[in-house]
């Protein structure tokens, strides 16, 4: 079983916290996530701080029976990436710093990612793009 929680981090971005039981740790996707994750020492409920780029692959490759999203978790956020999809930028609500970074990267499309609270399916739609 995988438990997931998304939190805001001081208006600087998003934190993806995760708990994984021992049986699920053998999965290849989870192994890759845990290699890049930071282990939080005193956090028993969500001991791993995982990069946000792994949220969508985890949600798409596991059934809703295997995943549980915390009821206090954020269920929607904004994302964009640079031209080559090397760096991704995530935030719950757009602010001046986020839009400044967006202009520096070259004004790509900004997507709103919404997690359905019942089925845990992810929908992604364009909410902002540069008009030329």
Give 73's DSSP letter: S
Cβ atoms of 103 and 111 closer than 8 Å: no
Phi, psi angles (nearest 5°) of residue 84: -105, 10
Residue among 71, 77, 73, 69 nearest 53 (CA): 77
CB atoms within 10 A of CB 54: 18
Amino acid 68: pLDDT: 93
**pTM confidence score:** 0.85
The tens digit of pLDDT for each residue in 84-93 reads 888 999 999 9
The tens digit of pLDDT for each residue in 101-118 reads 999 999 999 999 999 988
**All structural domains of the chain with their residue ranges:** 2-128
């Amino acid at each position: 079983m995988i438990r997931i929680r998304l939190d805001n981090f001081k208006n600087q971005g998003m934190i993806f916290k995760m708990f994984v039981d021992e049986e699920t740790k053998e999965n290849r996707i989870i192994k890759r996530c845990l290699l890049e994750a930071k282990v939080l020492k005193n956090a028993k409920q969500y001991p791993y701080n995982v990069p946000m780029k792994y949220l969508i692959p985890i949600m798409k490759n596991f059934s809703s029976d295997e995943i549980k999203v915390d009821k206090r978790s954020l269920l929607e956020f904004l994302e964009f990436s640079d031209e080559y999809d090397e760096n991704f930028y995530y935030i719950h609500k757009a602010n001046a710093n986020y839009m400044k970074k967006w202009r520096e990267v070259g004004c790509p499309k900004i997507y709103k990612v919404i997690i359905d609270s019942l089925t845990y399916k992810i929908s992604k739609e364009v909410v902002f793009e540069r008009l030329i």
